[in-house]
Each structure stands twice: as C-alpha cells, then as structure tokens.
Amino acid sequence: MANSRSKSATAEIAAPPLTMMAVVAPALGWLIPGAGHLAQKRWIRGLLLMGCIISMYILGLAMSGHVYQPNSGEVLDILGFIGDVGAGGLYIVSRALDYGQGMIQHATADYGTKFIIVAGLLNFISAVDAYHIAIGKKK
C-alpha cells in the first residue's frame, strides 16, 4: 500500500500543471527577450535579461557579425542558425532588414557573430526559465 502511494506521488510531481501562463510565458519570452518574465511580474529579472540579450545582439550586429540563414548544409552553419534563431524577434527583424549578411572581413566581425549566437542561446535559456517559473518549479 505504501508503495502504490509513493508511485502516485511521483506521478503527480512528474506532470506539472499546464496553465495558460506555462504556454504564453516561454513563447513570449522567445519572441521578445525578457518578456516572459515581465508577463509574470518578475520585473528585475525580465529587464536584466532584456537589456543583456538585446545589447549583446545589437553589439554583435555593430561589430559586423554574421546572421546565419536556415538553408545552409554545413554543420557549423546549422548550429550557428540554431543559436541565432534563439534570439526570436531580434532574429526575425534582422533577417527582414537584411542585417548581418556582409562578408566577415576583420576579426571583430567574428566576435560579433559569437555575440549574436550567444544572445540567442541566452534567450533560449531565458524562455525555459520563464516556463519553470510559470509551472511553479522555480521562484
């Protein structure tokens, strides 16, 4: 009897409740960096994430960093694209305005490319954090 009780307790812990905020917060956080936290009234964390991610992305573009396209077949280009698309709305806007498509001609452009990729990866982590806050796993 005690064994069946512990199995049901672990089943309840393993399946977090799916609320509207658990869906909206990570999606909004991916599209607009930090917005998933702001939607949950985590003002300081949301503003810090928003400032860091947006400034890293803009600094990367200012250093003539490369924004990867989805149609390349090389492994490093695919990984760069995954990192870039993590920036969400920033990636969409930069692709629409054709930013970051120039040839890398100096060393700072390579650093700029890494800034853009890291900003996207940080935004992925931020969206996951917003999800964990929404389901109550983290405060």
Report the alpha-carbon distance of residue 116 to residue 18 in Å, rounded.
32
pLDDT in tens, 65-117: 888 888 767 888 888 888 899 999 999 999 899 887 776 677 767 888 899 99
- Its pTM stands at 0.81
Q: Indicate if the pLDDT at residue 6 is higher than 70.
A: no
Read off the pLDDT band of 9 (50, 70, 90). Answer: low
Which residues, in sequence order, are CB contacts of 29 under 8 Å at separation 6+? 35, 36, 37, 39, 123, 126, 127, 130
CA-closest candidate to residue 91, choices 41, 30, 37: 30
pLDDT at 111: 86
Assigned token pair, 88: 């969400």
With vertex at residue 20, the alpha carbon angle to CA 17 and CA 26, rounded to the nearest 5 degrees, is 95
Place of tokens 């920033």: 90
DSSP 50-89: HHHHHHHHHHHHHTTPPPPPTT--SHHHHHHHHHHHTTTH
pLDDT in tens, 17-45: 678 888 899 999 999 999 999 999 999 99
Report the alpha-carbon distance of residue 100 to residue 117 in Å, rounded.
12
Which residue ranges make up each domain of the chain?
Answer: 21-134
Report the alpha-carbon distance of residue 18 to residue 8 in Å, rounded.
18
